[in-house]
Amino acid sequence: MEVTARAPGKIILAGEHAVVHGCTAVASSIDLYTSVSLRLRPEDEDTIKLQLNDIGLDFSWAIGRIKEVLSRLGSPFSSTPTSCSPETVKSLTALVDEQSFPESKIGLASGVYAFLWLYTSILGFRPATVVVSSELPVGAGLGSSAAYCVALSAALLALSDSAKLDVSQKGWFTFKSEAELVNKWAFEGEKIIHGRPSGVDNSVSTFGNVIKFKSGVMTRIDSNMPLRMLITNTKVGRDTKALVANVLARKSRHPDAMCSVLNAIEAISAEWSTIIQSHAVDDLCLSANEEKLGELMEMNQGLLFSIGVSHASIETILRTTMKYKLASKLTGAGGGGCVLTLLPTHVSGAVIDKLVEELESFGFQCFMAGIGGKGVQISFDHSS
């Protein structure tokens, strides 16, 4: 039996940075996916293999060796999501170091630790081959690590005793009662990769659609508005912690002005939520709502610029999309990363092609994405 799980990436539509200061952020799934295929092997094969297709890394561990390293700490196998202790992370590090991890890709090692922890916790020591492929760029603020953890957790749970799934189902289908369990395990994986994640990325990837997030409380909202975005990756790496710290320093220097800016961003997040939940009765109404969202994006970007989180590469994209009368804003931490451009329904394919060509001439990478689709899905391959 082989199972494949796919989990979507995410974007922040409104409220990034302000969310750190107690305001609302609005996040959405995008129809760009990370897929994890898991095929169990005969017991006598005695290896667990991991293939990371997009970055060209393959790993293979003898199950005896994994048992030897992890059994000193007690069996990791657990029916309920549990956190990975610092001692266990050290043991996982030893297992990964034995694989002669390439120095240039060492930043991805924590993703392999997360794999080993989730695998042994959910499936124990059963031999298998796991293949990961993704449409999401790594480290660009599109939730690639969360999509990886969600898809991995879903595939593992699908073949475990914890989830009671109908394996005879054909095509892609979503989890029902098991989705919360997937989300909790994925969050444990995210903690290994990021230390103290908010939980927003894995929640959006698990449940899909749109989520409002404020002071640690998440509310799922249903978007009734079909939206398309052009996502442009600047390919400029950014230091999220430094950007957050700089905003905090600016707030301490200019408390009254920054309070007004954050209140304005809060109002933008609230209006975003209202508009995307409303039902457009006709094309005219839809067009008016798209225009409002475009204005909100422009205002939000101006406010993000004012708190110091834009970047020369972001401003280049804004200038370019403005020539086509399209609204854009950064998404996530800023300082590089990705920029969203709203593509209203009236914009022709020819115009979009021309814009993409111009943006790519600067060395940027462009993706088209639908907003607010389904969360994690699984599919069983009955031919194997």
DSSP annotation of 371 reads: B
Amino acid at 355: L
- The structure tokens listed for 329 are 């804003």
Tokens 């993706």, located at residue: 367
Note if 201 is an active site residue. Answer: yes
DSSP annotation of 157 reads: H
DSSP string covering 314-352, please? HHHHHHHHHHTT--EEEETT-SSSEEEEE--TTS-HHHH
By the 8 A CB rule, do 210 and 372 touch?
yes
Active-site residue identified among 54, 58, 201, 353:
201
DSSP string covering 183-244, please? HHHHHHHHHHHHSS--SHHHHHHHHBSEEEEETTEEEEE---S--EEEEEE------HHHHH
Secondary structure element (H or E) that encloses residue 313, with its range: helix 312-323
Q: What is the number of other CB atoms lying within 10 angstroms of the CB of residue 86?
A: 7
DSSP annotation of 54 reads: G
Q: Among all residues, which ones are annotated catalytic?
A: 201
